[in-house]
Chains A and B, each alone.
Chain A
Amino acid sequence: MKKTQFKKFVARYKDLIYSHAYYFTGNTDDAADITQEVLLKLWHHLDKIAPGAMKSWLLKVTKNLCIDCSRRNREIAFSTLTNGSNPERFELEQIETGLNPEQETINNDTKNRILNAIQKLPPKIKDVIIMREIHDLKYEDIASSMDLPMNSVKVYLHRGRKLLFEYLKPYFG
C-alpha cells in the first residue's frame, strides 16, 4: 500500500524535484543526489504528510537541500582556493557562479547563459524565479513552500527578474 502510494508520488514529482535542483545547483550530479535524498525523505515521512501539502513539502525539502549543497560547494571551492592548488581566476569564477569549468567553457548558447545568470541570484530569489518562471507554479504553492507571504513572493520575483535582466542585458542587447 505504502509502496504503491510512494511510487505514484515519485512518478508525479520526480521531474519537478530534479529540475528544481538542476536549475538551482547548475549541475546534474548534485541534482541527482538531491533528488535521491528528497525521495528517501519522502519515503520516511510519507505517513505524516497531508495529501494536499505534498507538493509544497517536496519543494520545501528540495529547496533546503539545494541550499545545503550550494553552501557545501562554496566551502569546497573556498578551501581549494586557500590551498592554492588551482589558478586563482578560475576559482573566483567558480565561487561566483557555482559551476564547474566544463560548463563554464561551453555556456555560449542562450540556455547556458540564462542558467549561469540564475546561479548568480541570491538563494531565496533563485528559488522563486525557478518555481515561477521555469516551473510555472502558482503564487500560493510558492508561498507555502517558501513559508513566505504572497506579497514577499511577488517582491522576490520582481527583484529576481530585474537582477536577471542586469546579468543578461549585454547578451540580449
Chain B
Amino acid sequence: MNCQECQNFVDEYFHHELSFKIKQQVRGHLKGCSVCQTEYLQYEKMLQEISSLEIQPCPDEVTERVFQILNLADEKKIHFSFIENIINFLSRYRWKVVLTGATAVIVFFLILFYPKINRQTDIKQQYSEAEIRQATDQVKLALAYFSEITNRTQKIIEEQVLPHQVIEPMKSSIKTAIKPLLNGGES
C-alpha cells in the first residue's frame, strides 16, 4: 500500500469501518511510514477537537420572544372561539352523524324519484299537447268500449248461463225425485 492509498483510508481506519484485510494493510503502512503516521495523528486530533465542540445553549430571550408572539396569536384566536364552541357543541351531540344520515335519506329519495320526474319531463319534451290530448281521448274511448263489453257479458251470463247451469240441474233433480211417483211407486 502506498501513501496516497493509505491516506484515502484514514477516515475509515479511524472509525473502524474497514475490512480486516485492508485494516491490516493500513496498520502495516502506518507503522513503517512516518509521514502517514503524522498525517493520521493530525487527523485524529482534528476529529477529537471537532467532537469536543459543545452544543450551543439557546438563549432564554429566544424562547421568551416566541411565547410572547404566540400569546398574541392566542388573543387573535378569541375571535374564533364562538365558532369553535359551535363545532364542539355539534361534535358533542353527534350532529355530524344526524346530518350525515339526513343527507343520506335525501339522496336516497332523490335517486328513487328522479327517474319518474325525469320520465314525465321526457314525455312532455317528446310529444305536443295536442298529441297527448288525442292519446287521452283514445284511452277514454277504449275504456268506454271495455265497460260496454263488460255490461253485455254480465247480461248474457245472467240470462243464459245462469239458467242453463242452475235451473236445468234443478229441473233434472226434480224429475228424478218425482219419477217414482209418476211411475206408481216403482223406482
Q: Real complex partners, A and B?
A: yes
What A residues does B62 contact at CB under 8 A? 14, 18, 32, 35-36, 39
User: CA of A165 to CA of B12 in the docked complex: distance in angstroms?
Assistant: 14
In the complex, B47 has a CB within 8 A of chain A: yes
In the complex, A161 has a CB within 8 A of chain B: yes
Q: Mark A12-53, 1 if CB is under 8 A from B, else 0.
A: 001111110011000010011001100110010000000000
User: CA of A118 to CA of B143 in the docked complex: distance in angstroms?
Assistant: 102
B51 touches A136 (CB 8 A): yes
From B45, B57, B66, name the one whose CB has the most chain A CB atoms within 10 angstroms. B66
What B residues does A172 contact at CB under 8 A? 42, 45-46, 49
In the complex, A164 has a CB within 8 A of chain B: yes
Task: Tell me which residues from 13 to 34 in chain B have a Cβ below 8 Å from any Cβ of chain A.
Answer: none
B70 touches A161 (CB 8 A): no
In the complex, B149 has a CB within 8 A of chain A: no
A162 touches B11 (CB 8 A): yes
In the complex, A133 has a CB within 8 A of chain B: yes
User: CA of A110 to CA of B54 in the docked complex: distance in angstroms?
Assistant: 13
A17 touches B58 (CB 8 A): yes
Partner of B56, one of A31, A114, A129: A31
What B residues does A169 contact at CB under 8 A? 42
B55 touches A19 (CB 8 A): yes
B53 touches A23 (CB 8 A): yes
In the complex, A92 has a CB within 8 A of chain B: no
Q: How far is the CB of A58 from chain B (nearest CB, A)?
A: 12
Partner of A14, one of B42, B50, B53, B63: B63
A134 touches B42 (CB 8 A): no
B65 touches A36 (CB 8 A): yes
B42 touches A43 (CB 8 A): no
In the complex, A61 has a CB within 8 A of chain B: no
In the complex, B59 has a CB within 8 A of chain A: yes
Q: How far is the CB of A172 from chain B (nearest CB, A)?
A: 4
B70 touches A15 (CB 8 A): no
What A residues does B63 contact at CB under 8 A? 10, 14, 39
On whether A165 and B58 interact (CB within 8 A), knowing A114-B49, A114-B50, A134-B51, the answer reads: no
Would you list 17 pairs from A and B whose C-beta atoms are within 8 A, ordered by A residue?
Answer: A10-B63, A19-B56, A22-B56, A32-B59, A32-B62, A36-B65, A40-B66, A40-B69, A111-B53, A114-B50, A133-B51, A133-B53, A136-B51, A165-B46, A172-B42, A172-B45, A173-B42
- Complex A-B, nearest 10 residue pairs according to Cβ-Cβ distance, in ascending order: A18-B58, A14-B58, A19-B56, A19-B55, A172-B42, A39-B66, A22-B56, A133-B50, A134-B53, A32-B62
Known pairs A14-B58, A14-B62, A161-B43 / 5 extra A-B pairs, C-beta < 8 Å: A17-B58, A18-B62, A36-B66, A39-B63, A134-B51
